[in-house]
Structure 1
Amino acid sequence: MKMKHRKRTVLLLLTAAITGLLVSGFQSKRGSIQPLEPVSQHYKTLSTWSLKPDNRRAWMDTVKFPWSEYGKGAQGNMLWRTVYLSPEDEARLPELIRVPANSSDQTRAELDYMLQVQQNRTPKEIERARYIANIGSWPNILNPEDPDYYENRQQLFYIATAIGEWYNDKNFPATTALLLKCIQDIRVTEFRLKWYFKRPRPYHLEPALKPLAKINSPSFASGHSLWAFAEAFIFAEIIPEKRAEFLKKAEEVRWSRELMGIHYPSDNEASRIISWHLLQAWYQNPTFVADLEKAQREWRDRKLSY
């Protein structure tokens, strides 16, 4: 028992050290950016398990994301260019996160957790998760005659719904312009990371999982969690006093991906970390800083009008 306790303690210390390394990847030119919140909830517990391959489950390491399921659109999205994110900073992103091996103790623990979530999920939770699954903006919907154009712009403000319906794309055009540029960087990052890691979905490794949807791109990292947390951090730069509410909304988004059976918890935690690093990297770009300042002024000037 003492040996097990000692191993567990060492793993916890390693997790803390790794977290410290991850959140120090970029040095922002702006020193007042709030540090990334510590890992919490089940993500903290699951992260204490080993990420290394385990020979007892070696067959799992032979499983790859099936090419037959890889959508052409998902591959094509990698070809977009970033706006604020420099090629140098983008190249560093894969170094900041670690993918657990398919056969690792952590992956097994995550799959067991997801099976438990599947067993306990309620019809109301399923309905909510499916609703969230349809949320998310895209940078290539630019034509006002496109039937998705207005909804695409409105959904940029989903994470900030706690502010009120008046906080939207029509009333805050400078904020909308900022978010549209950021979402392009977010989507490029999402699909290039998926291509880089090509992690199979949880249901590829665990036949007992019954996902609420099948996704045509690899699992790591979660696109929904990436945009949710990135937007939460952006809105927190505009309205700092509402940071907790923005992050709560982002937490619901990442929870929904696990409840649907389509993302490992480590996919979602990686997206939270990467999104924070995106903000750090964006601050290296004077154009982003100028656009953010416009959005901040817009908020100060217009908030009292609603």
Structure 2
Amino acid sequence: MKIYLFAVVLIMPISLGADDRENTFHLSGAGEEANLDTAVYTDNAAWNPELIPYLSKETRILTNWQEKIRLPDPPANSSERTRAELDYLKNLESVRSDDQKNAILRELKVIGMKIGAHEMGPMFEKETSLPETRKLLLAGMHDMEIIIFKTKNHFNRVRPTHLDPDIHPSIEVPGHPAYPSGHATQAHVLAYLFCELDPENSDDYLRSASQIARNREIAGVHYPSDSAAGQLLARQIVDRLLEHEGFRSLLEKARREWE
């Protein structure tokens, strides 16, 4: 199983008519609100080509996930909420440190993440000392990835840089829509599963996931509302996984490795 998880990047185009291209990528002036709110991904041509296959893949465990998993709409591009979030991102950028930038780079791929005390790279190696845990995590992540990209495709939210040119990301802007944050979803799915395996360290797992999500805001590629939606999506994904008999069987086998 390949784990891309938002490591491959592409600057994304947005949907704008010829008359809309000037004075659109900023949030000043009520007359531009309509233009702002029509700025979305238009079709698959805007996507990183390596990620497009996720849009046609089917989940293995959560076969009816569309009926049970719901997210609220993201704030409108012209909303006061979005204005405040963009200002917040610029404040984060103004104090972005080298240590934060290094963490952001490490976390581009799942194998660079650390959830609690656990480095994900060794956890996903075939030679891991926790093979049943690896199976559990991979099973959950397979469906998670598909749900993330299909949900992103549904909401089609543009990245912060497309609304405010004064935001300067520390990494390239990913080639897929912003909402929900894939990194926030991914980190929290892993954290929630570790909480099932090792509840005594739940606070550490959740703290790590929250920091990974926030690092994407510090990087300038996600709004805070993307992160919040990612956490909400992760909670729903894990809750639905835990309802599945086959997944619960994987969980019980993995728990024995933590005794």
- TM-score tier, shorter chain, comes to 0.7 to 0.9
Tell me which residue corresponds to 2:143: 185
Please, which runs of 5 or more residues in structure 1 have no aligned partner? 1-53, 137-154, 301-306
Distance 2:121 2:213 in 1: 23
Instruction: Using the TM superposition, give the Cα deviation of residue 167 of structure 1 relative to its aligned residue in structure 2, in angstroms.
Output: 6.7
Asked if 1:84 corresponds to 2:61, the answer is yes
Distance 1:234 1:172 in 2: 14
What residue identity is the alignment partner of 2:195? A
Q: Write out aligned runs for 1:35-50 (5 A).
A: none
Distance 1:285 1:220 in 2: 27
Q: How much has 1:222 moved relative to structure 2?
A: 1.0
Q: What percent of counterpart residues are identical?
A: 29
After TM superposition, give the deviation of residue 130 of structure 1 in Å: 1.6
Aligned mates of 1:293, 1:70 — CA distance in 2:
38
Mapping 1:145-156, distance limit 5 Å: 155=111
Answer yes or no: is 1:226 the counterpart of 2:199: no
- Answer whether contact 1:190 1:223 (CA < 8 A) is retained: yes
Residue 81 of structure 1: how far off its partner (Å)? 2.3
Higher helix share: 1
Distance change >3 Å, CA 248–CA 56, structure 1 → 2 = same
The separation in 2 between residues aligned to 1:58 and 1:171, in whole angstroms, is 55
CA spacing shift, 1:265–1:297, aligned 2, 3 Å: same
User: 2:11 aligns to what?
Assistant: none
Could you tell me whether the CA contact under 8 Å between 2:106 and 2:112 is conserved in 1?
no
| Equivalent residue number for residue 235 of structure 1 | 194
Q: What is the aligned partner in structure 1 of residue 242 from structure 2?
A: 283
| Distance verdict in 2 for CA 1:72–1:166, change over 3 Å | closer
Q: What TM-score, normalized by structure 2, do the two folds share?
A: 0.80
* Distance of aligned partners of 1:243 and 1:156 in 2 relative to their CA distance in 1, 3 Å threshold: farther
Corresponding position: 1:73 with 2:43: no
**Residue pair 2:123, 2:134 contacting (<8 A) in 1 also:** no
Does residue 1:104 correspond to 2:55, yes or no?
no
Q: Deviations over 1:154-203 (max 9, x none)?
A: x3983143599987751111110111111101100110011111100110
* Cα distance in 1, alignment partners of residues 164 and 103 from structure 2: 24
Matched, 1:120 2:58: no
RMSD: 2.3
Q: Structure 2 CA distance, aligned partners of 1:286 and 1:156?
A: 31
Match of 2:117 among 141, 161, 165: 161
Structure 2: give runs of 5+ residues left out of the alignment.
Answer: 1-29
Greater radius of gyration (CA): 1
Query: SS in structure 2 opposite 1:80?
Result: coil
How many matched pairs? Answer: 226
Q: Is the 8 A contact 1:226 1:272 kept in 2?
A: yes
CA contact 1:214–1:262 (8 Å) conserved in 2: yes
Q: Is the 8 A contact 1:156 1:179 kept in 2?
A: no
